[in-house]
Structure 1
């Protein structure tokens, strides 16, 4: 890693994260880098969480951790810079080492992060309502509500108009639908997830912005986006 990339206060690009060594267990999604370790039982997972917690306290850099009976999911991000830094990569490598020492394998297949989006002609006017409804906080730009430990982030966007770029390259917004799902998958999972959706009866609405995202629709015409960090 270059001296600039090693700066613990510098936000790394998606490409720098993807090319960093020692991160085979991790994938970059919407809010951070994420790994899932298949522990197989609760006691093994709890022991792994204890080791991660101790290392996080020592580094003064704290991940989000989900412990379930068969797995531990860890998400890392540097909230002070709004992205990924060398601090996250260093802790990620430590966590992978702990898992390897415990004989626990990582499973990158199926890693996913969900965001909900609402089309609105006045997106900045909706934040206070949905923050109150969901028990969250409005983001600085006021067109989104920050995720909490119980609900995913929620954001609002203006529907693309005929003169918008790059929206002009995309089909017009479905007038009967205002909510859509943004499903974030790893950079190496996007095309496979798209094919799975098509095989399940979905249709491809647009690939104009691929591989950053594909717009897909269900049999009733409801649209969602399959999103990756590529090209961002």
Structure 2
């Protein structure tokens, strides 16, 4: 497995990373620590593994969990897979279990043709910078904002809305989570607008008609 070449979806599926899911060019895992002390112990173990590999993940530590994200400039590579395996091994040594269900990444999509004009504003508002035409927060505190010109999604034609909606959520989940997330949304009073592009994405809407997409890497 090449340490510096982006891996395909098939290669990642064959890697046997049960604790991890590929989302938006990153490997993500969530470890249920149960308490802050165990979380910091796991974070310290991850730091030792990362230092030994000279490859550093992003960590989010809460009172009951540690979320880890791995990527390389080329995308997800063999070095990410190797470090993911080592992190899982160290978590197991600490008696920490993973919870791959519900791993999520949020993007904010704005339907507008004025992206070049609006990008600096949203970069300033969110405390980030414009990268490849999109406002990006290098610290990872807020989601990336991306642009979609009206009626230019490239996907299935959707039923018309009785009002103009400009903002929408793209909620990214793992391929094995898409259907479960959809059923949870429907059970919570949401409506399915279109499954024509599934399993790449499902278009759903809330009771007021505001639409979002449940997205997965499958079929892309």
Corresponding residue number in structure 1 for 2:168: 180
Match of 2:86 among 94, 98, 103: 94
Alpha-carbon distance in 1 for matches of 2:7, 2:135: 24
Deviation at 1:149, TM superposition (A): 2.5
Alpha-carbon distance in 1 for matches of 2:13, 2:150: 31
Corresponding residue number in structure 2 for 1:146: 136
Alpha-carbon distance in 2 for matches of 1:173, 1:18: 38
TM-score norm. by structure 1 comes to 0.89
Alpha-carbon distance in 1 for matches of 2:114, 2:181: 32
Alpha-carbon distance in 1 for matches of 2:12, 2:141: 27
Corresponding residue number in structure 2 for 1:222: 210
Alpha-carbon distance in 2 for matches of 1:205, 1:100: 42
**Paired residues of 1:40 and 1:69 also in contact (CA < 8 A):** yes
Corresponding residue number in structure 1 for 2:40: 46
Gaps of 5+ in 2: none
Corresponding residue number in structure 1 for 2:68: 74
**Paired residues of 1:211 and 1:231 also in contact (CA < 8 A):** yes
Aligned partner of residue 93 in structure 1, secondary structure: helix
**Paired residues of 2:173 and 2:214 also in contact (CA < 8 A):** yes
Deviation at 1:173, TM superposition (A): 6.5
**Paired residues of 1:32 and 1:77 also in contact (CA < 8 A):** yes
Normalized per residue, which structure has more strand? 2
Alpha-carbon distance in 2 for matches of 1:18, 1:139: 30
Deviation at 1:13, TM superposition (A): 2.1
**Paired residues of 2:159 and 2:193 also in contact (CA < 8 A):** no
Match of 1:108 among 79, 100, 106: 100
The number of residues matched between the two structures is 218
Deviations 1:83-115 (A, max 9, x none): 211111000000000011111110112211111
Corresponding residue number in structure 2 for 1:160: 151
Aligned partner of residue 140 in structure 2, secondary structure: coil
Alpha-carbon distance in 2 for matches of 1:218, 1:153: 22
Deviation at 1:19, TM superposition (A): 2.5
Gaps of 5+ in 1: 1-5
